[in-house]
Structure 1
Amino acid sequence: MTTKEDAPDRRLRVVLVLKTNRGCMWTTPHVDALLARGHEVVAVLPPGGGRLRRELIDRGVSVVDSPFDFRFRLSIHTLASLLKLRDVLRRLDPDVLHYHLLASALAVRLTGLATRAARVHMVPGPLYLESRLIRLLERITARLDTVTICGSRFTARRYRELGRPPARTPVVPYGVDTRLFRPPSPAERVEARARAGASGAFVVIMVALVYAPKRFIHKGRGVKGHDVLLKAWQRFHADHPDSHLLLVGGGFDEAGAEYHRELAARFRIAEDPSVTWLDSVDDVRPHYAAADLSVSPSLSDNHGAALEAGSMGVPSVVSDAGALPEAVDRDACWIVPKDDPAALAAALSEAYAEHQAGRLTERSDAVRDRIVRFFDSSRAAAVVADVVEDAADFPVARAPGDRLISLFTEMRFGCGTAAPGGFTRYLDLGDRLCLVARTTEPDAGEGEALRPLPDYRGPAGLLRALPRLVPAIARAVARAEVIVLQQPGAIGFVAAVVCRVLRRKYSVEVIGDAFDVLAAGTFGPMGRVVANAAARLTGWVVGGASAVLYVTNFVLQRRYPATPGRFTIALSNVRMPEGMLLDKPRKWQPGPFCVIAVGTHEQLYKGHDVLLRALHRLVESRFDVHAVLVGGGRRHDELVAVAESLGIADRVSFIGPVHDRRLMTVLLDSADLFAMPSRAEGLPRALIEAMARSLPAVGTSVGGIPELLERDCLVDADDDGALARVIGRLLTDPREWEQQARRNLELARTYEKTLLDERFSVWLSHIPAALPDRRIT
């Protein structure tokens, strides 16, 4: 076995410890993410065969037999086998011990202290925290975890109640492979229902292993709630004989198999043709393809089967136990009290009525959209890998606190300008911030908070300013302790060149797409000519970064990938301040209607000219609509002239720039629809702020907008005809309008400041010093 010192480059040895060979398949995406970053993964599992062992070996993971069986008894044998496990872990010499499930966690906490490794516990479910005895045990022993990754917000709250700080309890769902679990085609669905022998029936599915009742928690009851569903089914099926229940999942172990047999006998499954109970299967997708509705009636659970069902477009009925309500779209699914067969039967009846009316399938897109946005396993696995890498250096000298971070940005400031909200988050952990930016005041003095650069406007202005701009950027780089460059932009690019020459490390925030901005014609025909070159230069800057923050989940990552092995994080620079989020969704009101758009008029990449042409189409078709355009800049008068030439000047209110948040809130609340017809975008703050006020929205399929809006609310850039059609449809369909209002408000909640600050602290900890151990005084 090679040792860490033998490795030519810095990489981690991560030892995965699990108490099972056959379960925990949700750990494999995490292993894939770690392997993709060049780290070594070794697994310690119980002896014997199993699907998990096979999957890990197929990935090239070394698997070591555990001498401990993960059963805690007061015996000499338990002590002896724990000591042997300690010796195994010591010989493996890990950088990080990574473990799931309580028995694995206890074993590693007791034996892992023999190593100097960081300890990362990931919690798949909150069940054991319902035991008073185990809560007391976790209050004491969880302190031995470097990080406790919580698989849900519910679990995080439980651990924080036990005294674990938020910084040590990040929330990362296990998620689901949304590429593998996808809605079936009509032909696949017909075939699946035919195989199930339920072509004309209302098919309800429950996918869950059968766990034997626990001694101290829900005594005498299986936690997955099979008995609750079977009681509810007897009531429901009596009134709806054309329905069929499909149960998929056998016993988790021998005790679970015995409980399975007991349930089957108690509810006379063998005599009930309306119920089919299958054993565990490797692939549940064909069964979901046949189903109309999924049920998760657990007494305690994490996100459960609702993720796989939702990813396949199957709406769910879930109990209000644990984290299950987090997994579903409340407007497209049903949440019922746990252990309440009557409430469950009533929800089944509601779903049946929608099925009969042909409306149940209309929920499919909403449930699928939620899972793709919040629970995709590949994105979740990348965050787990981030946490593992961070824990390996926890705590280290590069941790945030009292550093001076120089941030090179394209923004323009006046003398004494305070850092806007998107930048002040760099100060939250005790660091100081210096903005390296253009200033509108030529005599602005240099200080710690602002290092002024010569001002310029447009490509021609940039060329004229270069002789003064380059030396100013070079001086700022040479004096910087920690360097962060925003991209795209000329300032960040020049700073990156200087960093390469001076051999300084730098990090990058990718906040937009250079290619989209230029290819859209924002800077005229010459912009289109240089769009590809600008994209390559941006990619070059990103490729040289030690750490990269993307404001999108996947769009910018695809075009400007970081160098493999470098730290990356997907993190919006938009944070909803307290009071911005509306308390409850808005209700549709009849016209006249108001459409609002917010964005700069410095260039035309926000597409307000396209909105004006769309408005003209609507007015011509006698649609009673008015537009409010918020923004200013040198192309403002040109937009006013466009409105006048189209004969709609009386239908457009040009507000100019709005900096008062209260006034902006009033404007958004008085509108009926938000429009973002941009030709280029990163992740647009204005759109998220509109969604926070429960506004339905329409946007273009550029930048990060598709990560925020549903497909039916997207149009191509510069297509004013499509924009007019979508605006007209949304404003005149009360049901869709209110559905989008609810959905947008729910999505905006994920941008609450408190939810994002934890992840931003991870970003801060990965920004390296420009020079090792360099401190500027």
Structure 2
Amino acid sequence: MTTKEATSARRLRVVLVLKTNRGCLWTTPHVDALLARGHDVVAVLPPGDGRLRHELAGRGVSVVDSPFDFRFRPSVHTLAGLLKLRDVLRALEPDVLHYHLLASALAVRLTGLATRAARVHMVPGPLYLESRLIRLLERITARLDTVTICGSRFTARRYRELGRPPARTPVVPYGVDTRLFRPPSPAERVEARARASAGAAFVVIMVALVYAPKRFVYKGRGIKGHDVLLEAWQRFNAEHPDSRLVLVGGGFDEAGTEYRRELVARFRLAEDTSVTWLDSVDDVRPYYAAADLSVSPSLSDNHGAALEAGAMGVPSVVSDAGALPEAVDRDACWIVPKDDPHALVVALNEAYAEHRAGRLTERSDAVRDRIVRFFDSARAAAVVADVVENAADVPIARAPDGRLISLFTETRLSSETTAPDGFARYLDQGDRLCVVARTGDPDAGGGEELRPLPDYRGPAGLLRALPRLVPAIADAVTRAEVIVLQQPGAIGFLAAAVCKVLRRKYSVEVIGDAFDVLASGTFGPAGRVVANVAARLTGWVVGGASAVLYVTNFVLQRRYPATPGRFTIALSNVRMAEGTLLDKPRKWLPGPFCVIAVGTHEQLYKGHDVLLRALYRLVEARLDVHAVVVGGGRRHGELVALAEALGIADRVSFIGQVRDRRLMTVLLDSADLFAMPSRAEGLPRALIEAMARALPAVGTCVGGIPELLEPGCLVEADDDEALARVIDRLLTDPREWEQQSRRNLELARTYEKALLDERFSTWLSHIPAALSDRRTT
């Protein structure tokens, strides 16, 4: 049994260390995820009563009083407290020490070395990194973290600037419970506004604890920006007296409570009937339900209250501080410069105008959709649990000159094409790459960058090539330092079989679904016959892998699950380079309309024949539409003939294969709708590239397409009637067309190269050497 398998098979003891027993309730979903996996969780908290202590105790978590008060002062008392904390942690015998907040992190780093436990620091906010002194301290001490989980991309960038590698700084948001926080029903909203005596008023809400000014950053200022909002509010309310401001949140501590009193006095809030300032409440949902707009004017923040507001469908105005811009849909919310009351007034005026026109609520769906997709706390907690489990088994350290990764792929290469875009990312962390693939070039030599395999085409060609193919694959496996197999495909399967015989470890990229391709009938009746066999073989390869990368979020995972306890990651192989994405959504224009489809014609699994039949229906219905079909291959002629037979040849432009990215961008920008009527897919690059150009799209319910498009934009494969119906609806409804343009562009932004590179570095750190079991910190 390997070290990793042993880790997953045993019950881990995770010790949670926090400097407070009152706040940090956002840690409870992480505790729930760990408990659900059968791990033992113990919490070390300051003595005394507190809501966090009650929440943990209610989950059956043992709570131990910390002998250290988490106050770092140059005194004997501090040293004595740290020594006692060291003894407590040592006695608990943790496998993993898990901690949040800077004071907790410093204490565990100094005392946790007395144990052999892995150390996982999760960073809730980037404020302290704005201090030069603390940045210097973190540059030194953060190296003692096994993993530093960053609560936002903003925080991750700051830690990487301090020298922490991407593999040690995964990005996982704290998130929000999107089942608990949901948009109110009309009746619930009416009731909430009635309780708040809101009437027809424009209600603005700010939910935040009040923190006293810090010593090291923003001296004299509260970081949540209450003063910025109150200054802006006095100007705004003077022009719009029918508006109400509701502030929810008391002082974080005694100093915060005193600062709150200062703000009340400074802005004369006791005399201002437009402002209601409530203390902290157990449930903020009724207040969001009554609100029209949320404001987060922080000087420094993580994702802040924008997550809860967005989950409830309330649009936000946020400052551009820290990670706040990551939390909002840029087209449905407002982002203003921090510490700029004038810019905040402008945003409030725009929101007010939309409210009075009855249009502000139209932003609700887009706001909610972003939070559900990217900030659901249950999914985030599962990722945190993954990181904690993996930290207990520290990944293999790389050699100073990087590892040589052998990638076995079904892609056919030439000597001039050794590292396509999908492969080049293996080089980004200093590793070297050898692509093991078929090549039609008889002069292609072997070497470190390309190890050629005998070429073949089709099942019959594979059978004829086996006597030469198997020895070539075996030789490549024998020479490999690190092995990654792409699935589905015969080369990956044969390499896995050789690995089993030679007792080599391998990892797998699942980039498509052999079952869907074969069962669709693309390869004829014989393909349907062997579809189940191909699926079982792919499942066997995935089941034997030490680590698995899926290009989908859930589709391929369900069909080809990894062995429990093995490292898995969902990560697209599509990366949008800088400049690929359009700056803003498109505006609908009346016809004539252009529908574009992109894909190979080597087989017909891209469904372009279905699109042509749908186009025929649309033309018969007198919709002024034509199609641009991009792609080439041996069945291209059949599609041209079908267009002529249907009598729509004058409505179709067959472009052939396009390799020039600039030309493809021009074609996409000239179209009004992207169509992907595929019979089988993995996660389609062409669709994401179209979405990056803010194109509305229609697709089929196969592969990873449902992860990209809304249900209303999906049809069953081979249903040209339904395809025509959805195309007609999207092209002729300006409001839905523009909504899909905005939504698709926002989703495509999540495939930006820089964001995915962060996660790919985590994948690289978890693919093991073919032979070595050695692991180091």
TM-score normalized with structure 1 length: 0.89
What amino acid maps onto 1:482 in structure 2?
V
Q: Distance in 1 between matches of 2:161 and 2:442?
A: 53
Question: What pairs with 1:188-587 in structure 2 (closer than 5 Å)?
Answer: 188-198=188-198, 200-264=200-264, 274-389=274-389, 391-392=391-392, 396-397=396-397, 402-414=402-414, 417-440=417-440, 449-453=450-454, 455-457=456-458, 473=473, 476-477=476-477, 480-525=480-525, 527-528=527-528, 531=531, 534-582=534-582
- Seen in structure 2, the aligned counterparts of structure 1 residues 263 and 545 have a Cα distance that, compared at 3 Å, is same
Aligned to 2:100: 100
Q: Give the CA deviation at 1:574.
A: 1.2
Residue 24 of structure 1 corresponds to 24
Q: Indicate conservation of the 8 Å contact 1:96/1:388, yes or no.
A: yes
In structure 2, how many angstroms separate the alpha carbons of the residues matched to 1:571 and 1:663? 28
Q: How does 1:694-733 map to 2 (within 5 A)?
A: 694-732=694-732
- Between the aligned partners of 2:218 and 2:415, the Cα distance in structure 1 is 64
**Deviation for aligned residue 1:168:** 4.4
Superposed displacement of residue 531, structure 1: 4.7
Deviates more, 1:585-594 or 1:508-517: 585-594
Q: Which whole-Å CA distance do the structure 2 matches of 1:241 and 1:469 have between them?
A: 79
Q: Which residue of 1 aligns with 2:621?
A: 621
Letter of the structure 1 residue corresponding to residue 668 of structure 2: L
Question: AA paired with 1:695?
Answer: L
Distance 1:695 1:316 in 2: 26
Q: Is the 8 A contact 1:626 1:652 kept in 2?
A: yes
**Counterpart residue number, 2:641:** 641
Partner of 1:183: 183
Query: 1:76 aligned to 2:56?
Result: no
Alpha-carbon shift at residue 629 of structure 1 (Å): 1.2
Closer, same or farther in 2 for the Cα pair 1:5/1:183, shift >3 Å?
A: closer
**Residues 436 and 453 in structure 1, CA contact (< 8 A), matched pair in contact too:** no
Contact kept? 1:190, 1:199, Cα under 8 Å: no
- CA displacement at 1:548 relative to structure 2: 0.8
Structure 2 unpaired stretches of 5+: none
The secondary structure found in structure 1 opposite 2:98 is: strand
Give CA-to-partner distance per residue, 1:677-707, whole Å, 9 cap, x none: 2232221111222233343333233322233
Greater Cα offset, 530-539 or 283-292? 530-539
Separation in structure 2 between the aligned mates of residue 8 and residue 619 of structure 1, nearest angstrom: 59
8 Å contact from structure 2 (residues 454, 465) kept in 1: no
- Is this contact kept in 1: 2:17–2:99, CA < 8 A? yes
How many positions carry a matched residue from both structures?
770
Is 1:148 aligned to residue 154 of structure 2? no
Q: 1:611 to 1:6 in 2, by over 3 A?
A: closer
- Contact 2:176-2:375 at 8 Å conserved across structures: yes
Between the aligned partners of 2:365 and 2:39, the Cα distance in structure 1 is 37
Residue by residue over 1:12-38, the C-alpha shift from the partner in whole angstroms, topping out at 9 and shown as x without a partner, is 544322111122222233334445556
Alpha-carbon distance in structure 2 between the residues aligned to 1:297 and 1:651: 53
Kept in 2: contact 1:99–1:120 (CA 8 A): yes
471 and 331 in structure 1: CA distance in 2 versus 1, 3 angstrom threshold: same
AA partner of residue 427 (structure 2): L
Instruction: Give the SS at the match of 1:754.
Output: helix
Question: Are the aligned partners of 2:5 and 2:566 in contact in 1 as well (CA < 8 Å)?
Answer: no
Cα distance in structure 1, aligned partners of 2:133 and 2:427: 41
Letter of the 1:328 partner, please give it.
V
Change (3 A) 1:652 1:32: same
**What one-letter code is carried by the residue in structure 1 that aligns with 2:228?**
V
Distance 1:231 1:404, change over 3 A: closer
Q: What amino acid sits opposite 1:109 in the alignment? A: R
Question: Match for residue 767 of structure 1?
Answer: 767
CA distance in 2, matches of 1:732, 1:637: 32
Checking the alignment, whether the CA contact within 8 Å between 1:398 and 1:769 is kept in structure 2 is no
- Determine helix, strand or coil for the equivalent of 2:755: helix
Matching residue's letter, 2:309: A
Of residues 19-28 and 425-434 in structure 1, the stretch that sits farther from structure 2 once superposed is 425-434
Contact preservation (8 Å) 2:509, 2:548: yes
Preserved CA contact (<8 Å) 1:369 1:710: no
Whole-Å separation in 2 of the counterparts to 1:466 and 1:163: 48
Report the more deviating stretch, 285-294 or 101-110. 285-294
Distance 1:567 1:160, change over 3 A: closer
Deviation, 1:280, is: 2.7
SS of the counterpart of 1:86?
helix
Give the Cα–Cα distance (whole angstroms) in 2 for the partners of residues 512 and 567 of structure 1.
19
Query: Would the aligned equivalents of 1:53 and 1:63 in 2 still touch at CA under 8 Å?
Result: yes
User: Is the CA contact 2:390–2:567 (under 8 Å) kept in the aligned structure 1?
Assistant: no
The residue type paired with residue 609 of structure 2 is D
2-structure distance, mates of 1:599, 1:109: 53
Change (3 A) 1:676 1:497: same
SS in 2 for 1:368: helix
Q: What is the DSSP-based 3-state SS (H/G/I as helix, E as strand, rest coil) of the residue aligned with 1:763?
A: helix
Distance 1:10 1:422, change over 3 A: farther
Provide the rounded CA distance (Å) in 2 between the counterparts of 1:198 and 1:538: 59
Partner residue in 2 for 1:600: 600
Higher mean displacement: 40-49 or 682-691: 40-49
Report if aligned partners of 1:673, 1:696 keep a CA contact under 8 Å in 2. yes
Contact 1:398 1:768 in 2 (8 A): no
Contact 1:453 1:473 in 2 (8 A): no
Check the 8 A contact 2:409/2:485 in 1, yes or no. yes
CA contact (8 A) 1:410 1:437 kept: yes
* 1:442 Cα offset (Å): 7.8
Please give the secondary structure, in 1, of the residue aligned with 2:509.
Answer: strand
Residues 5 and 315 of structure 1: CA distance in aligned 2, closer, same or farther (over 3 Å): closer
Quote how far apart the aligned CAs of 1:310 are.
1.2
Any idea what SS the aligned residue of 1:105 has?
helix
Code of the aligned partner of 1:689: E
CA gap of 1:230–1:445, structure 2 versus 1, over 3 A, is closer
| Bigger mean CA offset, 755-764 vs 293-302 | 755-764
Q: Distance in 1 between matches of 2:5 and 2:115?
A: 16
Counterpart secondary structure, 1:542: helix
d(CA) in 2 for partners of 1:717, 1:276: 55
Query: Does the residue aligned with 1:87 lie in a helix, a strand or coil?
Result: helix
Deviation at 1:661, TM superposition (A): 2.8
Most deviating of 361-370 and 723-732: 723-732
For 1:422 and 1:267, locate their aligned partners in 2 and report how far apart those are by CA, in whole Å. Answer: 57
Report the CA distance between 1:656 and its aligned residue.
Answer: 2.0
Code of the aligned partner of 2:684: P
CA distance in 2, matches of 1:438, 1:79: 64
Please give the root-mean-square deviation of Cα atoms over the aligned residues, in Å: 3.5
> 2:317 & 2:758 partners in 1: Cα distance?
32
Alignment gaps of 5+ in structure 1: none
Distance 2:521 2:584 in 1: 40
Whole-angstrom CA distance in 1 between matches of 2:523 and 2:333: 47
| Counterparts in 2 of 1:472 and 1:159: CA distance versus 1, 3 Å | closer
Instruction: Tell whether the 8 Å contact from 1:166 to 1:758 is kept in structure 2 after alignment.
Output: yes
Bigger shift: residues 609-618 or 336-345: 336-345
CA contact (8 A) 2:166 2:761 kept: no
CA deviation map 1:172-203 (0-9, x unaligned): 32222334333333344344444444464433
In terms of mean alpha carbon deviation, does 727-736 or 337-346 score higher? 727-736
- 3-state SS of paired residue (1:521): coil
466-475 or 535-544: bigger deviation: 466-475
What's the CA shift for 1:304? 0.4
Q: Which moved more, 1:89-98 or 1:439-448?
A: 439-448
AA aligned opposite 2:458: R
Change (3 A) 1:397 1:295: closer
CA distance in 1 between counterparts of 2:389 and 2:401 reads 19
Deviation by residue 1:639-691 (Cα, 9 ceiling, x = unmatched): 22221122111111222222333433333333333222223222111122223
